[in-house]
Copies of this chain bind each other. A is one copy, B any other.
């Protein structure tokens, strides 16, 4: 049975369609894969929006001379750096996901793409959580210990919002990591099956 072969690993389309089992490349499977990739795209877009917002909220959290600035606190600098890194990464991944949804092909070779996505999702989820936790501890100390939050409540409020946005970014990146982990498992299984 001949079926349209989706492009894999940046392959150029072959003039001779290969014979394949209907089970793997049916229209139903292609539709499911498309829906799955669209969900990943949506989650990556949300992770991008929240991490970008968090980094912007942190970056603009400075009330001018005399008032505290986010640059004075290591944990807030950590939040900014982590969220900025994740925003850049998410933007690249949004492009890759959109490409995959539109062209049904991965930008990099498939094996590299699935492992790259999963590995980086995991590492960056850890990074965001770590930054968020550190900043939460600092924000709580500022609120309880000193008079920073008494005199400059806007600074503390903006910090809280930035931290919350970062945690939301972590949440969506964590969900994406689950899906990209599932993709790795699927690839490992299908990869083995193609060799059978």
Chain A 55-66 against B: per-residue CB contact (8 Å), 1 yes, 0 no? 000000000000
Question: What secondary structure prevails in chain A residues at the interface with B?
Answer: helix
A192 CA to B146 CA in the complex, in Å?
Answer: 59
Cβ 8 A contact of A185, one of B134, B138, B185: B185
From A36-44, A101-109, A124-132, the one touching the partner chain is: A124-132
Question: Counting CB contacts under 8 A, is A188 at the interface?
Answer: yes
Looking across the interface, which residue of chain B has its beta carbon closest to that of A146? B145
Would you give the shortest CB distance from A187 to chain B, in whole angstroms?
Answer: 10
Contact with B along A8-38 (1 / 0, CB 8 A): 0000000000000000000000000000000
User: By CB atoms of chain B within 10 A, which of A137, A138, A185 has the most?
Assistant: A137
Q: Cα distance A78–B145 when bound, in Å? A: 18
Contact residues on A (Cβ < 8 Å of other chain), bracket: 20 to 34
Closest residue of chain B to A118 (Cβ to Cβ) is B181
Q: Please indicate the chain B residues that have their CB under 8 angstroms from the CB of A184 in the complex.
A: 185
The CB with the most chain B CB atoms within 10 A, among A129, A134, A135, is that of A134
Cα distance, A125 to B122, chains bound together (Å): 11
Q: Which of A58-102 contact B (CB under 8 A)?
A: 74-75
The 10 closest A-B pairs by CB, nearest first: A134-B137, A133-B133, A137-B137, A130-B133, A133-B134, A75-B137, A137-B138, A141-B141, A129-B130, A185-B188
Chain A to chain B contacts (Cβ below 8 Å), 19 pairs: A74-B137, A75-B140, A125-B126, A126-B129, A130-B130, A130-B133, A133-B133, A133-B137, A135-B137, A137-B137, A137-B141, A138-B138, A138-B141, A141-B141, A181-B181, A184-B185, A188-B188, A188-B189, A189-B192
